[in-house]
Structure formats: C-alpha cells, structure tokens
Amino acid sequence: MNALTGTKHDTSIDPALDPGALNPGMIARIPGRHERDVALSFQFKADSSRVFYALSLPEYIEAWLQAPDTDDLHLVFNQIAEETFRIDLYRGETLHARVDGSCWVVGANQVRYIWKTTSPFDTTETLVDMKLLSGSGGCVLALKHSGFNDPQESARCRRMWQESLERLCRLMERN
C-alpha cells in the first residue's frame, strides 16, 4: 500500500507515543522521538467521544484544520472518499502544495492520518498518530506527526497543529 504502513491492516500506534510523558497544551517530551517530529498534547473541556468524532471523520476535519499562521496561505479541503481527503494549500492564487490524506481509526480513541505532501520541490509521506485519554472534566489529546525530511516542513506543521488544535478546543467549548 505504501512504504510507511505496508498494508491497511498494519495500524499499530507508535509505542513512543507515551501519553504519560505529555503535559496539556505543551510540546511533549517523548523519549526516542526524532528531533523533526511534531509532538503536542492538548486538554479539551469536552467528552473524548466528541473530540474523537471531530478527529476521525474527514467531513469534520475541515471545520478545525487551519493553514499555519500566515495570511497569504489558505487551504481548500476536499473529501475524496469515506476515509480519504485532499488538502490544497494556496499562496495567493497559486497552488503551493497538496496533501493527500487517509484517516484510519486504529483503536479505541486512536486515529492515524497518513499524509502524502507534494510540492514543486519534494514529496513526503508522514504519519499523524493521535490518542485521546479521558479524564475528569474532559480529555487530553496526544499527537505525534512523524516522518519529516525537511525541518522547515516540520516547523510549518508544528504551527499548523498548534493553531488547528487551539481552534478545535474553542469549537468544543462552544458546543
């Protein structure tokens, strides 16, 4: 199927994604993770099933996913099939990059996105692993995005996830 996962059924969560090592809202300290990996955790004041629903259904991802902190970069989200989507990133009117993604529920409260990012300069396949942990008054999301070749792409994705998850927190608090 692809070089990172082998098959659709090879969906185990990376054991380095240790929720015990996470502090809500802060960059996680995960032993053995690569310096380019994006690792974040967020505290949600919402039931884990609601957050899981927003993370695992492509038609809801576009409600909270944001382009990283720039006014001239915007994204256009297209659901391709039940589990797949495409995100076109535009700078002004010019297509800057494209992400072809798949969304897989890989366990109780665990979601994995497989992202293939194509730009004029490079193509990269990365994995986004997310796990929700229930707690009193809400849940904690542990996120790890790995497989980056370029530190600048990693930094852009870190900003994108930070801003997107902050937006998802606000959406969950409103509803």
For the chain, how are helix, strand and coil distributed in percent, rounded to 5?
Answer: 25, 40, 35
Res 120: pLDDT: 86
User: Could you confirm whether domain 19-174 is CATH 3.40.50.720?
Assistant: no
pTM score of the predicted model: 0.76
Q: Which tokens belong to 84?
A: 């797949």
Query: To 10 degrees, the CA torsion angle through 43, 48, 50, 51?
Result: 40
Tokens 């996470």, residue located? 22
**E strand or H helix at 135, and its extent?**
strand 123-135
Enumerate the H helices of the chain as residue ranges: 48-56, 58-64, 151-174
Q: Which residues of the chain have pLDDT under 50?
A: 1-32
Res 5: pLDDT: 34
Tell me how far apart the alpha carbons of residues 21 and 40 are, in angstroms, rounded to a whole number: 10
Res 82: pLDDT: 83
Res 10: pLDDT: 34
Collapsing DSSP to helix, strand or coil, 91 comes out as strand
Res 150: pLDDT: 86
